[in-house]
Amino acid sequence: MKTPTYYPLIHNEWVKTYKSIKVKNPYSNDTVAKVYLADGDFLDMAIESAQKGFQVAQNLSGYERYEILTNLVRGLEKNEKDFIYTIIHENGKPVRFARNEVERAKLTFIWAAEEARRLNGEFLPLDVTPQTKGYFGIARRFPLGVVLGITPFNFPLNLVAHKVAPAIASGNSIILKPASQTPISAIKLGEILLKAGMPPGMVNILPATGKSAELLVKDGRIKKLSFTGSAQVGWYLKSICGKKKITLELGGNAGVIIEPDISYAEAIPRLVTGSFGFAGQTCISIQRIYVNQAIFNDFIQKFIDEMSANAFYGNPEHEKTMVGPMIDTDAAKRAEEWINEAVKKGAKLIAGGKREGNMLQPTVLTNTRQDMRAVCEEVFAPVIIVEAYKEFKDAVHMVNNSHYGLQAGVFTNDFEKIQYAYTHLDVGGVIVNDYPTFRIDPMPYGGAKDSGMGREGLKYAIEEMTQIKLLAIKGNL
């Protein structure tokens, strides 16, 4: 079978460039596709295209933007099976999670279409002093210009949607740089965009190296950077981006608190999925579980039983698989190193810990310390730590004892404790009676501390991609 070949999308044309990479299947190591990269003059070509695209995009009516996004949804529906297949093979995501990602991407574009029709402003009474009698104002949001979206490997379709959808809805143009490990879903989305009525230059898709991405980040013609990825890279890009507006959706090491009044039957299956689904390669995957000491031993036993029964490990094409491959062997080796380091420092390995290639067993550690990288850094692997606490306030402190702050979970029915957690947890979102891995795409999503700045979620991303402009009018002239 001939290996498919893909090219950058610039000004609604597929452009053959000079350098290419091979995209590998993380499970089988087979070559999935050959993808050409944009660099040098092609970067400049894309920026000029996006500038021209913006001149058209900013003048599209809300209905016209709605129509493009709605047509895009129809194209996703028509090609749903192909996208599921592509996600499985380019990033190793188990089929049940790949299916869910495609469904979420459709909904992300549907919600964006609705937002495109209600991007409005407000009337402002300005006659609030004797000197301003007769004045009134209108405040509206206007698109910024060219947006640069940089996306990670773990959600190659839906996190692309979270850049492209609000950009289209708000009348911006966007240059999208997908992850080098997983560019195919983004390129196939470009194929659908071409049929959806997108003006040339409104969306350019550039598979590119990190060095080329840096050149784009530094370019003053780009007015907004929206980056999803690691904290190290994100904060570096902020340091070189100049005067651009910037949204950073970065890493985490999500903590969850378990109180004695929970229902094990409801909580533990969700906790196992939130810990090990897609091999923990989600920035809000559970990494730290803090359990009230009164139920600690019972919880551990029930958690391990559920994990053994349902955290199936292996081929991502099998329906039951929960834990597929990590994105590459280096990532799996790094996680294995952190596990071994923790054990050498005194942690107890309760389950898992073994690696074969880029397959890492679901792993549970306890008796850990804060200085262990498996605790204090983002492991981004199927690895969790479980520790006991005495008082609820202690557990909140333990969750906060991290330089990350994306989302946290709290399992309890005690409203005072829920209120305390919501007030005192230093995170972007507190999820009650579900895992911190919970996300529905319209909600405001983002973090505190090293987990980033700004918010995604359609309405909130549109606010990040627009600026308020005031019209003040003196009446009665």
Q: At which residue do the structure tokens 């906790």 appear?
A: 271
Report, in angstroms and rounded to the nearest whole number, the Rg of the chain calculated over CA atoms.
23
Q: How far apart are CA 228 and CA 162, in angstroms?
A: 10
What are 195's two structure tokens?
């049929």
What are 323's two structure tokens?
């834990």
Q: How far apart are CA 67 and CA 71, in angstroms?
A: 6
In DSSP notation, 272-306 reads: HHHHHGGGG-STTSEEEEEEEGGGHHHHHHHHHHH
DSSP structural state of residue 132: G
CB 57 within 8 A of CB 202: yes
249: annotated active-site residue: yes
In DSSP notation, 158-184 reads: HHHHHHHHHHHHHT-EEEEE--TTS-H
Q: At which residue do the structure tokens 């809300």 appear?
A: 62
What are 463's two structure tokens?
């606010």
What are 3's two structure tokens?
């290996």
283: annotated active-site residue: yes
> Would you tell me how many other CB atoms lie within 10 Å of the CB of residue 123?
9
Residues 6+ apart with CB under 8 A from 63: 117
Q: Which of 101, 115, 249, 259 is catalytic?
A: 249
Which of 120, 106, 117 lies closest to 67 in space, CA to CA? Answer: 117
What are 123's two structure tokens?
């009337």
Q: At which residue do the structure tokens 């490997």 appear?
A: 153
Strand order in the sheet with 429-432: 348-351, 363-366, 383-389, 286-292, 254-258, 407-411, 429-432
Q: Which residues share a beta bridge with 148? A: 175, 225
What are 353's two structure tokens?
């810990």
Which of 86, 104, 105, 108 lies closest to 95 in space, CA to CA? Answer: 86
Q: Which of 101, 115, 241, 283 is catalytic?
A: 283
Q: How far apart are CA 438 and CA 456, in angstroms?
A: 14
Query: What are the CA-CA distances from residue 22 to residues 4, 18, 168 (Å)?
Result: 10, 14, 30
Q: How far apart are CA 313 and CA 94, in angstroms?
A: 10
Q: What is the length of the chain?
A: 477
Q: List residues with catalytic annotation.
A: 249, 283
